Amino acid sequence: MSAIGTGVCIAWAPGRVNLIGEHTDYSGGLVLPVAIQRGISLDVSGLAEEVSLVSERYGTAPPFAADGSGEPAAGWGRYAHAVTAELAVLGRPPIGLTGTVSSDLPSGAGLSSSAALEVAVGLALCAVADFELAPLALALACQRAELRAVGVPCGILDQAASLLGRASYAILLDCSTLEHRLVPIPPDAAFVVVDSGVEHSHETSGYATRRQELEAGMPARLRHVRTENQRVRDFATALEAGDLDAAGRLLLESHASLRDDYEVSIPELDLLVSLAEDAGALGARLLGGGFGGAILALTQGDRADELAADVSSAYRTRTGREGTSLVAVASAGATVRR
């Protein structure tokens, strides 16, 4: 990741879809995410003594010191403030900026909007200060920033996926060693995300509790992590072999484990998985940390739009919720440009 010197720039960071490997990253397990075509952009209009950010979608964040000192910012600005503080610890010069944040990434749908924001802010702050960080070093700083900002003990998955993404590939990442390699997505595979309309937040859900239970050795939680790590290996093998049927079965097994062993599903997500199967998906599972958000369904590429429409329509009929959908495309990772 090369610094671009001081001056106006645009930092863009994608959201992510984790194909499989849920609630494994914070225990040092395996994950298989892709960066997607939607994300968050920070358009830097100038340098300043403080960091001042505005957003048509999120509102205006209270300005804060360029070294991240002082009281934490309120609202969404706390993520940016925390990233600034973590970069200061690493030696970034205290150069502020003014900028506008925009997003086409749904919040609370399990696509990692908070990590995308952290990465976009981190890239912009590094760029204007001519401060170089390797991608995974920035990912780790952003991971620490999420804990600092909202007290959520998240793993490295979301930030790493946003920075390491590559078009047409998933990233097989070992969260204990940070070793990673690219896994090609078969050209006839398509991944459909359908939102339940039940917004979730790691900060207010049972996410932290599940981590505590895992660390305490609760048998069901341990069983999920052990079997999920093996499913990640098997899923990567299935993708490399072009075996979509096997990949689909693994998604269904993952959902069952998340529902029964890790207990992070809700009725709306279970219903969406069932509706996806009824609509001809090869497999589906809840996406993200659970307690709300979206599901991920695997289908053949030429059926993606049809499946998305069918599942959304059936879900709307059954629940009255909108059930918005997105065909997720494995895309390039975060960038900075003038």
The residue assigned the tokens 């403080």 is: 50
Note whether 63 and 30 are within 8 A (CB): no
Note whether 195 and 272 are within 8 A (CB): no
DSSP-derived pairing of the beta strands 180-184 and 50-55: unpaired
Longest Cα separation, the chain: 56
Note whether 146 and 118 are within 8 A (CB): yes
Active site residue 130: no
How many other C-beta atoms lie within 10 A of the C-beta of residue 338? 10
Within a 13 Å sphere around the CA of 316, how many CA atoms are in the beta-carbon half? 11
The residue assigned the tokens 């509790």 is: 209
User: Apex CA 146: angle with CA 76 and CA 40, to 5°?
Assistant: 55
How far, in Å, CA of 200 to CA of 291, rounded? 6
How far, in Å, CA of 35 to CA of 15, rounded? 6
How far, in Å, CA of 338 to CA of 331, rounded? 20
Report CA 166 to chain centroid distance, whole Å: 15
How far, in Å, CA of 136 to CA of 283, rounded? 31
Note whether 15 and 306 are within 8 A (CB): no
Q: Which of 104, 130, 158, 270 is catalytic?
A: 158
Positive/negative CA dihedral, 126, 127, 131, 134: positive
Note whether 192 and 326 are within 8 A (CB): yes
Give the Å distances, CA to CA, from 33 to 4, 40, 91, 103, 173.
Answer: 28, 18, 30, 20, 8
Active-site annotation, residues: 158
